[in-house]
A = this chain, B = another copy of it.
Amino acid sequence: MTSEHESSPSDPSDEAVCKAELSTPAVGRLSLYYRELHRLIAAGEKSTNSRDLGQMVNVSPAVVRRDLSSVGSIGRRGVGYDVQLLAERIGAVLGSGVQWKAVLIGVGSLGNALLRYRGFERLGFSLAAAFDTDPAKYGREVGGTTVRPLDDLEAVLEKAKPELAILAVPSEQASEVAARVMAGGIQGILNFAPTTLRVPAGTAIINVDLASELQQLAFRIQNIRM
């Protein structure tokens, strides 16, 4: 049984306003709803509601409703949300219809894990190339991507025109590599090096620090104990 689904008028200027208003945590939650909706679709579910979605991603139904209304999706009382339509709507806002191309720099153990990680493709990301400075790794295929010499970086960026770069290099190399990918036209950097990269306006960056995540967890445990 399919439920009805209301969305805001598809005037692009409206959508632009709504996007600009989304906070970083809200975008993170939308990304999680999107993942859970695809799980529901795969399981053959047709509809869901703010309570169930909230339980899936650990937030209250009120937060779910606010997030979804901010992208123009209003659930109907007693009917809920059509999972397919809602996934499409969130996907459009998050840019998931688009096929994004990424390169990865640094094929150490983390780079290896990222190249083997299959979650990226599911969301429309493809890895165009991987780079390292260790000649022993050149030509090796990891998770379907061939490792190339870092010296080839500029030529590959020029030819493949990827939008994103994933940095899994040691801290001391991160700024230099970031400068090179930006000079080559990269618009967004996902940085796993444990150093905060600063980029000029016009380039997007997300720094992921694994040790910092563990530190935040330890902080929460301390708070629970008190």
B-contacting residues of A (Cβ < 8 Å)?
16, 19-20, 22, 24-25, 27-28, 31-32, 34-36, 39, 55-58, 93-96, 98, 100, 102, 108-110, 112-114, 116-117, 119-120, 122-123, 125, 163-164, 166, 187-190, 194-196, 198, 202-226
**Contact of A190 with B213 at beta-carbon distance under 8 Å, contacts A100-B218, A113-B113, A202-B224 already known:** yes
Residues of B within 8 A of A213 (CB): 190, 206, 208
Residues of B within 8 A of A188 (CB): 217-218, 220-221
**Contact of A32 with B209 at beta-carbon distance under 8 Å, contacts A164-B214, A188-B221, A219-B94 already known:** yes
What distance in Å separates the Cβ of A129 from its nearest Cβ neighbour in chain B? 16
Contact B219 A95 (CB under 8 A): yes
Contact B216 A206 (CB under 8 A): yes
Instruction: Return 8 A-B CB contacts under 8 Å, by A number.
Output: A24-B216, A31-B215, A56-B196, A98-B222, A109-B117, A120-B211, A163-B221, A206-B217
| In the A-B complex, the 3 residue pairs with the closest CB atoms | A119-B211, A204-B220, A109-B113
What residue of chain B has the Cβ atom nearest to residue A223's Cβ? Answer: B19
Residues of B within 8 A of A224 (CB): 187, 202-204
What distance in Å separates the Cβ of A163 from its nearest Cβ neighbour in chain B? 6
**Complex: A212 Cα to B35 Cα, angstroms:** 9
**Complex: A36 Cα to B198 Cα, angstroms:** 13
**Complex: A207 Cα to B122 Cα, angstroms:** 18
**Complex: A115 Cα to B152 Cα, angstroms:** 30
